[in-house]
């Protein structure tokens, strides 16, 4: 039996296989409200056979968006728009996961397909970016406002409220986004966190907000439902966040209610030299899993079924997350099943075609 197509039990939720749709921003929401595009985009990946469909990074507050076209989960209108999507995903036998996010100092850009330009400060839809320290991400980016204690408490409360709305919207899994140079990652990395209070300096201080967000989420997120944490396992820059600190973070939060560490990397600073190659981030998932005993997810240039099968069979990770490959082929899980000698999960409407 293929390891990739073994079910994965996470608390009271069972994934039908070890293939997950990685969160991918679509920049197609209106004032945070998802549109028919999202139903078709996400629903087709559920029809395609993935076990878990994690929706794009969804802002916990208006200022937490990357762009004005980001999805959100900060009001009741957003909840209503997500409901038919989560319902359809579940009807196809997949699990719907919500990724809760705050863009931090990387907020305030146009969608990528509009060139990703920075929003001018005199534009009607400009807003002030927030960060642990008043350090711009790159030349041309706005200088963010450094959060004070009240601001940090408000961010934590926003994550908590978004988790409550995620329950109402029908999600069965939450992933907290602490990667790719966004707000929670900004607190973790010494490159972006220059604070000298209880949220900066030492390792214990830099991970404090992540632990507070995890605790606040778990206060409202049902015990029976799983919680993931996505991290950038390394900044790929000397003096930044690295794999040793990632292992230590996983050890620290092991008892906090996190069920899986989703291991990505980079994004904290521009122009980092990243040795990109197939499976280049898998060693991070392997090491965290081996040294902490926590479940992990592997992501990054995983494109071929034998490659994904090997990751799971070797115990490098418990889950593989695919992004661009599932944009190219929403039915990749079905192709993988056939290649690995497994009966592909097929909706009754498509039965005669498989």
Token look-up 């996190």 returns 258
Nearest to 156 by CA among 180, 178, 125: 178
Nearest to 47 by CA among 327, 322, 353, 330: 330
CB 287 within 8 A of CB 251: no
Report the C-alpha gap between 47 and 330 in whole angstroms: 8
Report the C-alpha gap between 232 and 99 in whole angstroms: 15
CB 112 within 8 A of CB 27: yes
The length of the chain in residues reads 354
Residues 6+ apart with CB under 8 A from 8: 14, 15, 17, 18, 51, 318, 319
The CA–CA distances, whole Å, from 293 to 153, 253, 281, 285, 299 equal 31, 12, 18, 11, 19
User: What residues does 13 pair with on adjacent strands?
Assistant: 10
Please identify which of the residues 27, 141, 182, 199 carries the catalytic annotation.
182
Nearest to 146 by CA among 100, 109, 196, 99: 196
350 is catalytic: no
Active site residues: 182
């Amino acid at each position: 039996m293929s390891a990739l197509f073994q079910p994965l039990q996470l608390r009271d939720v069972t994934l039908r296989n070890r293939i997950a749709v990685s969160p991918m921003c679509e920049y197609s929401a209106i004032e945070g409200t998802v549109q028919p595009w999202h139903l078709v985009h996400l629903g087709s990946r559920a029809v395609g056979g993935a076990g878990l469909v994690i929706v794009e990074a969804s802002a916990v507050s208006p200022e937490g968006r990357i762009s004005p076209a980001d999805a959100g989960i900060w009001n009741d209108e957003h909840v209503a728009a997500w409901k038919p999507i989560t319902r359809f995903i579940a009807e196809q036998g997949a699990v719907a996961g919500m990724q809760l996010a705050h863009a931090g100092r990387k907020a305030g850009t146009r969608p990528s397909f509009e060139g990703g330009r920075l929003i001018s400060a005199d534009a009607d839809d400009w807003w002030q970016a927030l960060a642990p320290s008043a350090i711009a991400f790159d030349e041309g980016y706005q200088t963010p406002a450094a959060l004070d204690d009240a601001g940090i408490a408000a961010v934590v409360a926003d994550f908590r409220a978004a988790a409550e709305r995620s329950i109402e919207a029908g999600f069965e899994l939450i992933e907290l986004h602490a990667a790719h140079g966004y707000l929670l990652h900004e607190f973790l990395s010494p490159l972006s966190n220059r604070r000298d209070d209880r949220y900066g300096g030492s390792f214990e201080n830099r991970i404090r907000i992540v632990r507070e967000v995890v605790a606040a989420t778990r206060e409202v997120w049902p015990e029976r439902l799983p919680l993931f944490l996505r991290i950038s396992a390394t900044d790929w820059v000397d003096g930044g966040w690295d794999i040793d600190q990632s292992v230590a973070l996983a050890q620290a939060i092991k008892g906090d209610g996190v069920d899986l560490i989703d291991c990505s990397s980079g994004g904290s600073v521009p122009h980092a030299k990243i040795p990109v190659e197939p499976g280049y981030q898998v060693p991070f998932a392997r090491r965290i899993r081996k040294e902490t005993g926590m479940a992990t997810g592997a992501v990054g240039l995983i494109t071929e079924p034998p490659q994904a099968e090997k990751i799971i069979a070797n115990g490098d990770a418990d889950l593989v997350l695919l992004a661009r490959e599932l944009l190219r082929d929403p039915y990749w899980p079905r192709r993988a099943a056939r290649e690995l000698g497994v009966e592909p999960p097929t909706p009754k409407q498509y039965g005669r075609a498989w």
